[in-house]
A and B are shown apart, each in its own frame.
Chain A
Amino acid sequence: MQFLVRRLGFYVVAAWAAVTVNFFIPRAMPGNAVDSMMAKFPNIQPQAEKALEAEFGVGHQGSLLHQYWVYLGNIAHLNLGTSVSLYPDKVTSVLASTVPWTLALVGTATVISFTLGTLLGVIAAWRRGGWLDRALPAFTLLQATPYFFLALLAILFFSVDWHIFPVSGGYTLGLQPGWNLSFIGSAVWHSLLPALTIIATSMAGWMLQMRNVTITTIGEDYVLAAQAKGLSSRRVIFTYAARNAILPNIAGFALAIGFVVAGALVMEIVFSYPGVGFTLLNAVNANDYPLTQGIFLVISFAVLFACMIADVVYVFADPRARTRQAY
């Protein structure tokens, strides 16, 4: 319990840090944020221009601290401003339409690759010298390949050459987004190739990690004791070895999630998948500061939330953590 409370305190600090970094981004950029936006979108209405100046502290908007306070207030009210490149959509509505795509793609791909990777890692460690161990160099290569390169190759083979999967997009153009079967079917179909590519690259990483920790765990006395007890192989592998080996992986989830997010973002860009990453790139290229900030904030909070969930899972998984101070 104490452990979770301390972690909660940490997340509050981290959230504050993310919000503050977000605050400083447009102010730290060279030049005038508003001017650069105006340069790309000369048709912005004067009231909108005034609002942007207020938002980004251009001109005489009061002290920095005052602006910060206003900014915090805005965030608390979920007022993230209006997008410049997708004017007049509000940032929140843009987010509402893009986040679900990313969540669906990244969420399921991550769960699948974690589960599959961990399982294969355990098997590779238990059956050392088996075919999995021999395939290790291949997995190593897979882990080191830049995700988008694999994506490019995948597109080349599966979309261009063999016409199995669609080349890009989230769904077939022309279909109306909605909860109907044809749309959902098309959406799923379009997400298969990106998802498979994400799974292929990140699974290798999980597997290698899990394999190494499991090999060390198998050398522990309690695994030997479990074998001495005449327990079934299955129980020894899973309840004694894997249950303990997975703990550092859960603890290291915070590290892993950075890579997961990075991979997913680039993947979306390669596939022109209408998710958060794709939108972020477009926003950055268009100097759309409100949208950029909004997306960055959402990603930061999502990462923090995922780490929190990992912490809770860890406390459940490791009884020693319930009395401990930190990891």
Chain B
Amino acid sequence: MSTSEQAAAGVAPTAGAAALPLPVLEIRDFSISFATETGDVKAVRHVDLSLAPGEIVGLAGESGSGKSTLALGACRLLRPPAIITGGSVIYRGRRVGPEGVEILDLTAHELRALRWREISIVFQSAMNALNPVLRVEAQLGDVIDAHLNVSREEKHERLNSLLDMVGIPRARLRSYPHELSGGMRQRIMIAMALATDPEVVIMDEPTTALDVVVQREILAEIAELQKELKFAVLFITHDLSLLLEIADRIAMLYGGRMVETGTGEQIHHRTAHPYTRGLLNSFPSVRGPRRKLAGIPGSPPDPRDMPPGCPFQPRCRFVKSECATVDMQLLPAEVEDPQHLTACPYVKVGEVEPAGAATPATIREVL
């Protein structure tokens, strides 16, 4: 199929390769701003991101890069003064059909039906995301009541099986959130997210608030559940090393812009964008040779004060004058692999850093 034919059929354009399935969640040219008294602050700018059915896509970036804003904005969960200023978010789950629905056009009523049933969210801090005055069974149950039309016995069965699925004793249905440990609470959040059998689960830093051992356990459980139930995952985190292990594809966000997307292998071994490079240089691997930690000099960008062109300019070792006019379009990084895209047209994969490159700030940024 030619590229234009592919586009007409609604298939993701690929050059020469076999046609891929339609993405279950397709975000195109998505922009979000915050309307403050001092003017609009662009938090997310012209972002493209898509999730294939059953795929795990990692969304990585620093705090303030716009990852949560992007995900919540795609579900239209952001509160004022946030506004969506452009783009489209198309959802194509099994229950909705291949034509999909444009989330940005839905009414509040239609959105309510779509939320959780089709797209659910696992929030970062389970202690804060669970209602402290409701028992677990009430919180798991009300979402079943809202979306599924089942009898009481069926609902009870489902609640029990949900808890079994995440490895929590059934008796805990009668507990309150404050009576559970951190790991348990997060598992409840996951169970809650899967309660209505969604197609897409957005996980916003689901393990950041936990200690390392529990983190590993929960990640393993998530991976297992995903294999079994085959839902797509948008995994948001600042921990790139985690994504390298579990994600099928990774998207790197910087200053509200998408700067690189690719598989874990491509991102790790054939890094294209300078930002990703800097990130990979920032954490040591437990095995492997000792090397000097470089980090990324400077500090995260202030969304109110972005340079024209590429937002990474102030901290980039490859910066040149053309960077101020680049249009940040995602282009293939490697000729043989159209899946690997980067926003930097000047730096090639494997290019060596220029010697004596200026290091802008004295503050070391280690993510």
Q: Do chains A and B touch in the complex (CB under 8 A)?
A: yes
CA distance A220 to B142 in the complex (A): 19
CA distance A289 to B128 in the complex (A): 55
Interface presence of B132 (CB below 8 A): yes
Task: List the B side residues contacting A62 at CB < 8 Å.
Answer: none
Chain A 101-153 residues near chain B, CB threshold 8 A: none
| A229 and B132 contact, CB distance less than 8 A | no
Task: List the B side residues contacting A232 at CB < 8 Å.
Answer: 112, 146
| A222 and B77 contact, CB distance less than 8 A | no
CA distance A225 to B188 in the complex (A): 13
Given A221-B123, A229-B143, A230-B146, A243 and B117 contact (CB-CB distance below 8 Å): no
Min CB gap A111→B, angstroms? 22
Min CB gap A159→B, angstroms? 45
Interface presence of B1 (CB below 8 A): no
Interface presence of B120 (CB below 8 A): yes
Task: List the B side residues contacting A225 at CB < 8 Å.
Answer: 121, 123, 129-131
Given A228-B77, A320-B178, A240 and B131 contact (CB-CB distance below 8 Å): yes
Chain B 112-133 residues near chain A, CB threshold 8 A: 112-117, 120-121, 123, 125, 128-133
Interface presence of A231 (CB below 8 A): yes
| B131 and A244 contact, CB distance less than 8 A | yes
User: Quick one: which of B112, B113, B114, B133 contacts A243, CB cutoff 8 A?
Assistant: B133
Interface presence of B24 (CB below 8 A): no
| B129 and A222 contact, CB distance less than 8 A | yes
Chain A 32-84 residues near chain B, CB threshold 8 A: none
| B115 and A221 contact, CB distance less than 8 A | no
Task: List the B side residues contacting A239 at CB < 8 Å.
Answer: 131, 134, 142
Task: List the A side residues contacting B178 at CB < 8 Å.
Answer: 319-320, 323
Given A228-B121, A243-B133, A320-B176, A220 and B128 contact (CB-CB distance below 8 Å): yes
Interface presence of A184 (CB below 8 A): no
Min CB gap B120→A, angstroms? 7
| A229 and B116 contact, CB distance less than 8 A | yes
User: Quick one: which of A222, A230, A247, A319 contacts B114, CB cutoff 8 A?
Assistant: A230
Interface string of A202-234 (1 = CB under 8 A from B): 000000000000000000111011111111100
Min CB gap A265→B, angstroms? 35
Task: List the A side residues contacting B142 at CB < 8 Å.
Answer: 229, 231, 235, 239
CA distance A320 to B178 in the complex (A): 7
| B128 and A228 contact, CB distance less than 8 A | no
Interface presence of A257 (CB below 8 A): no
Interface presence of A89 (CB below 8 A): no
Q: How large is the interface on B (under 10, 10 to 19, 20 to 34, 35 or more residues)?
A: 20 to 34
User: Quick one: which of B79, B120, B121, B132 contacts A222, CB cutoff 8 A?
Assistant: B132
Interface presence of A317 (CB below 8 A): yes
Task: List the B side residues contacting A247 at CB < 8 Å.
Answer: 133
Chain B 128-166 residues near chain A, CB threshold 8 A: 128-134, 142-143, 146-147
Q: Which residue of B has the minimal Cβ distance to A324? A: B178
| B129 and A221 contact, CB distance less than 8 A | yes
Interface presence of B43 (CB below 8 A): no
Min CB gap A129→B, angstroms? 9
Interface presence of B75 (CB below 8 A): yes
Task: List the A side residues contacting B192 at CB < 8 Å.
Answer: 229
User: Quick one: which of B130, B134, B143 contacts A230, CB cutoff 8 A?
Assistant: B143
Task: List the B side residues contacting A235 at CB < 8 Å.
Answer: 142, 146
Chain A 227-264 residues near chain B, CB threshold 8 A: 227-232, 235, 239-240, 243-244, 247
Min CB gap A133→B, angstroms? 14
Min CB gap B183→A, angstroms? 18
CA distance A29 to B171 in the complex (A): 63
Q: Which residue of B has the minimal Cβ distance to A231? A: B146
Q: Which residue of B has the minimal Cβ distance to A219? A: B79
Given A227-B77, A228-B75, A231-B143, A244 and B132 contact (CB-CB distance below 8 Å): yes
| B116 and A319 contact, CB distance less than 8 A | no
Given A319-B176, A319-B178, A320-B176, A228 and B116 contact (CB-CB distance below 8 Å): yes
Min CB gap B198→A, angstroms? 11
CA distance A225 to B142 in the complex (A): 12
| B115 and A230 contact, CB distance less than 8 A | yes
CA distance A224 to B124 in the complex (A): 12
User: Quick one: which of B115, B130, B131, B133 contacts A228, CB cutoff 8 A?
Assistant: B115
| A222 and B131 contact, CB distance less than 8 A | yes
Q: Which residue of B has the minimal Cβ distance to A318? A: B133
- Enumerate 20 A-B pairs (CB-CB under 8 Å) in ascending A order: A221-B123, A222-B132, A224-B77, A224-B79, A229-B115, A229-B116, A229-B120, A230-B112, A230-B143, A231-B142, A231-B143, A231-B146, A239-B142, A240-B131, A317-B133, A319-B132, A319-B178, A320-B132, A320-B176, A320-B178
Q: Which residues of B contact A (CB under 8 A)?
A: 75, 77, 79, 111-117, 120-121, 123, 125, 128-134, 142-143, 146-147, 176, 178, 192
For the complex of A and B, 6 pairs with smallest distance between CB atoms: A230-B115, A221-B128, A319-B176, A230-B112, A221-B129, A225-B129
Q: Which residues of A contact B (CB under 8 A)?
A: 220-222, 224-232, 235, 239-240, 243-244, 247, 317-320, 323
Further 11 A-B residue pairs, CB within 8 A, beyond A229-B142, A244-B131, A320-B132: A221-B129, A224-B77, A224-B129, A225-B129, A225-B130, A228-B121, A229-B116, A231-B112, A243-B133, A243-B134, A320-B178
